[in-house]
Amino acid sequence: MTPSIRVLVVDDDFRVAGLHRDVVASRSGYIALDAVHSLGAARQAVRAHAPDLLLVDAFLPDGDGVEFVAATGIDAFLLSAATDAATVRRAFRAGAIAYLAKPFESRVLADRLDRYARMRNLLMTDRPLEQEQIDRALAIMHGGAEPASLARSATEQLILEGLGDDEASAAEVADRVGISRATAQRHLAGLASRGQVEVRLRYGTTGRPEHRYVAAR
């Protein structure tokens, strides 16, 4: 099962921090940690809770959020009312995965979180990545066009439609779509390698765990 993504919101505006935390909590596969409102509290929270993703205001009363992101080495979105090019460039140099200019609608943050989860799922592997997978990860996060070599085949599209919003085994997908189990298994493995489906394990009382598949959100 893909582990949940732990997110820490760092914003000195209590209302805004709460709104952002609520968006995180609403997304499947995420755990929203208690928001903090200063860099001092953020450093303590990082040590105590080991978040996977930070949502950080660029400027905080006790320091610079951009420098904090650079120092932590943790994946981060920078959220700021500052829209000058110098700050945005500095944020990207610091390693920010996304930069959201305040104010923004909740759906914008939700979209970036969903994209991040898909990108992370694609990159959570010990195997060497092909260039197509690297391109795919970048396209997922930043909304670029999907590389032609990774476009879904007609069979993969049928499999995704057959999977729908359910969790299913390769055999169940094969029955729904009308293909062999081996064909379903092969295409599901390819979709999983590109982050388009997630693989979960169901443990029974005996035997090997069953692989279950669900469409990535």
Our CA dihedral for 29, 121, 185, 215, rounded to 10 degrees, sits at: 40
Helix 39-49 to helix 65-72 angle (10° resolution) is 20
Output the pLDDT for position 149. 45
The alpha carbon of residue 12 and the mean position of all alpha carbons in its chain are separated, in whole angstroms, by 24
84-114 tens-digit pLDDT: 999 999 999 999 999 999 989 999 999 999 9
Output the pLDDT for position 37. 96
Output the pLDDT for position 112. 92
CA distance 75 to 53: 5
Name all domains of the chain by residue range, CATH numbers in brackets: 5-122 (3.40.50.2300), 152-215 (1.10.10.10)
CA distance 145 to 138: 10
Output the pLDDT for position 142. 81
Local confidence pLDDT in tens for the 217 residues of the chain: 567 899 999 999 999 999 999 999 999 889 999 999 999 999 999 999 999 999 999 999 999 999 999 999 999 999 999 999 999 999 999 999 999 999 899 999 999 999 999 888 888 888 888 887 788 888 888 875 454 444 456 778 888 888 888 889 888 988 888 888 888 888 888 888 778 888 888 776 556 778 889 888 7
pTM of the model: 0.67
Neighbouring-strand partners of residue 36: 10
